[in-house]
Structure 1
Amino acid sequence: MISYVSAALLALIGLTRLMTVRTGPKHLVTFFLSMAAGLAVSAEATVRLLGDDLLPRLVTNALQLLAMRALVQLVRSTRSPEKPTALWPIVLCWALMVLCYLDFAPHRFEAGTPGFQWRWSIVTYQIVLTTYAISCLVMFTRTLARSAAGRPRGTFRTGLRILVCAAFATIGWVLFSGLPSLWLEITDLADLDFMPRARLLGLCAMVLWVLGGLFTTWDGALRLVRAWRGIRAVTPLWKELVAAHPQIALPVRHDIEFTLYRRVIEIRDGLLALRAHVPPHLGDWLRTPVDEPTRAAAELAAALVMREAGRSWPLHPAGPEEAHPSMRDESAWLSAVSSAFTHSLVVREVRERAMADVG
């Protein structure tokens, strides 16, 4: 069960990163999804279901090498100019592992005996697996440690440091689980006792990867949630303005954060286009003092009515506007305007007065 839960968390982190990073390299996505698939395949329940422990181990090791290659790709993508990662080393490793598997698989019933443990194909398999994984992890760990040292304090740097610890734990796990012939020879462990211990070390390493991944993706996930809530908040206002001025609509892109940014720009363009239709006597229709978002929503409601009636007034020099230095502040302001435009009784009364004025 622990293996499946860890696999599900790793897959969730990978899918979250896939949604967060719509363009550009997906190396971390490949890493997390490969490790998740490897954990699911190597789980005890999966092995019992398949009735064979050698084939799941081969598939798991192949997925682990793919995850290690993704780490190398991630490291090289940070260099300028970016250095491509050759494909032939991992393909060669996979081919050697398959050849070794074809040699020792027919002798699976000899597993646990010294003859099987030191069979040339078993030893070659272990050396290939361990060498490739360790070399990838060492390169990744050095780069990640330097990156974490140069980051400001926050959840992202904490996540990077946890990932460094996860990489060191994974190196230890690979050295232990990747060389069972050596450890069975120099320790008193039986073959049946070795795999549970190796799996436990692997799960500890995966817990660190999960924690590091959660910390590093936390900011991105929060940005997505904020952007989605911002889009929902400004959508009523955006629909009214696009209906009045279809030309303000920008090309569609399937990116949540960019969609919010695009809608904020379109709303601002629509508000500017309607300024000439705002009645100069609108202040007389406001019986009580209102806050700025409600006044802006009332001006928009009156301007839409006057535009439909074909009435406009000369533009006067605009007064100083409230500064919204960040996208979050701008989105919050327009969300308040959108809420007032949809629900405020004051805005409803101004709309009715404007309709009566043109009627």
Structure 2
Amino acid sequence: MSVADWIVLLLLWGISAWRLPAALRSYRQRMLWAAFTALAVSRVFSANPVVEWLIAWTGLEWATLLRHLGGLASATFLLAFVEAITRGDRPSRARWIWPAAAVVVGVLVALFAARGGRIYWVEGQPGETATAGRIYLLVFDGWLIYCLGMAGFMFGRFSRTAPPLLRAGLIISAIGMAAGVANRGHVMAVNLANLLVPQWGAAESPIFHGATLVVTVIGISVGTSIPGIHAIRTRLQQRAALKELQPLWAALTAQYPDIALGMEGPSSVQLYRRLVEIRDGMLALTAVADPPADGAPERVAEWVADALDGAVAAGVAGQPSGTIPGPDFHGDTDKETAWLRQVAAAYKQRSGRTGSRVS
């Protein structure tokens, strides 16, 4: 194995170990973890000691078959992962992937058995591979190229509507997949040339093969990690928003405990629930005082504080006006969250000055 092969092998096993916890919680992450792990297993069977030991023990090229089946599984899992994250709420389009992969596996195993357990079988000249072996390699490389090409295409198309950080990850992943297509396309072209015009004596370029392999693994591993970084950043932002909304939410639910939904869930669900509860609390306050006509956060915060004091003094609930203060965000929860954070900050500041209740 070359230095590039060792770098790829160590990188793949490191990524596999790192992604294992996420794989236990999510189907999408499970597909991605399986892609990296299958490729790592595949690269193990590229190591010369492993290859030589299996040949000496069995007399057959089991390392070749296992390496190729691992690569095939990796490409299939990667395509399933990309399909899952790009389809959105649409039904899965990936049900055909597994039967198709099973057919390819069957063809490879059948050709392997037909050649007596040999693929790179010397026939005539040293290093010459039998025709059945060339066909085997064309089937194998064809499936890899299809999976990587389709995955790269899906990522590239999805990147047009993705947020900036996620878009960067998708583009880097697509570059890695394009390098994978170039890597296997180079091998496939050599095999096809030797199959059709053997007198040319076409040979693979070790430098091109190693370089594109490294770019493929690094591009896919880095690119698919960026969405994870994006998800971590999103969760941190959601938790920060929950913390900032806490005083306003606590004051409203203390006066109107029935608005608390009492659900548990991830930070995204908790934040959405908190937005709804705060809005319901504001709607209840309109029974005490009319909300300000404009949506200035400072004016709304002052109205909330005064209306809460009025609700406590009145002791009985009136009829809400049906008008919730603030702009119409047309379902944009990000904008609504940002506005309510401003209201909550102004409410906390005002409550601190006047001694009003704030939790």
Per the normalisation by structure 2, the TM-score is 0.62
RMSD: 5.4
How far off its partner does 1:132 sit?
1.6
- Is 1:332 aligned to 2:332, yes or no? no
2:237 to 213, 226, 229: 226
Question: Which residue of structure 1 aligns with residue 182 of structure 2?
Answer: 172
2:136 to 121, 125, 149: 125
How far off its partner does 1:202 sit?
1.6
1:261 to 260, 265, 272: 272
Contact 1:294 1:347 in 2 (8 A): no
1-structure distance, mates of 2:103, 2:247? 57
1-structure distance, mates of 2:44, 2:31? 22
Question: Which residue of structure 1 aligns with residue 99 of structure 2?
Answer: 88
Mark the CA change 1:91 to 1:334 in structure 2 (over 3 Å): closer, same or farther.
same
1:151-173: per-residue Cα shift (whole Å, max 9, x none)? Answer: 59955555555444333311111
Mark the CA change 1:39 to 1:83 in structure 2 (over 3 Å): closer, same or farther.
closer
1-structure distance, mates of 2:345, 2:353? 10
How far off its partner does 1:269 sit?
0.7
1:208-287 correspondence runs (5 A): 208-213=219-224, 222-239=233-250, 241-242=252-253, 244-250=255-261, 252=263, 254-274=265-285, 276=287
Mark the CA change 1:105 to 1:302 in structure 2 (over 3 Å): closer, same or farther.
farther
Contact 1:277 1:303 in 2 (8 A): yes
Question: Which residue of structure 2 aligns with residue 38 of structure 1?
Answer: 38
How far off its partner does 1:131 sit?
1.7
Mark the CA change 1:164 to 1:62 in structure 2 (over 3 Å): closer, same or farther.
closer
1:260-313: per-residue Cα shift (whole Å, max 9, x none)? Answer: 1221011121233245568xxxxxxxxxxx955763664476467x27xx7258
1:1-359 correspondence runs (5 A): 2-3=7-8, 4-5=10-11, 29=29, 32-43=32-43, 53-54=63-64, 57-67=67-77, 69-70=79-80, 73=83, 77=87, 85-86=95-96, 87-100=98-111, 118-119=129-130, 122-140=133-151, 154=164, 159-177=169-187, 186=201, 198-213=209-224, 222-239=233-250, 241-242=252-253, 244-250=255-261, 252=263, 254-274=265-285, 276=287, 292=299, 295=302, 298-299=305-306, 302=309, 306=312, 311-312=315-316, 321-323=325-327, 325=329, 326-336=332-342, 338=344, 346=352, 349-351=355-357
How far off its partner does 1:91 sit?
0.6
How far off its partner does 1:224 sit?
3.7
How far off its partner does 1:227 sit?
2.3
Which consecutive unaligned segments of at least 5 residues does structure 1 have?
279-289, 353-359
Aligned-pair identity (%):
17
Contact 1:275 1:303 in 2 (8 A): no
Which consecutive unaligned segments of at least 5 residues does structure 2 have?
1-5, 55-62, 290-296
1-structure distance, mates of 2:208, 2:240? 46
How far off its partner does 1:7 sit?
6.0
Q: Which has the higher contact order (CA 8 A, sep 6+)?
A: 1
How far off its partner does 1:92 sit?
1.1
How far off its partner does 1:230 sit?
1.6
2-structure distance, mates of 1:121, 1:330? 64
Mark the CA change 1:152 to 1:57 in structure 2 (over 3 Å): closer, same or farther.
closer
How far off its partner does 1:233 sit?
2.8
How far off its partner does 1:137 sit?
4.0
2-structure distance, mates of 1:93, 1:60? 13
The residue identity in structure 2 corresponding to 1:37 is: T
Aligned residues: 327
Mark the CA change 1:32 to 1:114 in structure 2 (over 3 Å): closer, same or farther.
farther
Per the normalisation by structure 1, the TM-score is 0.62
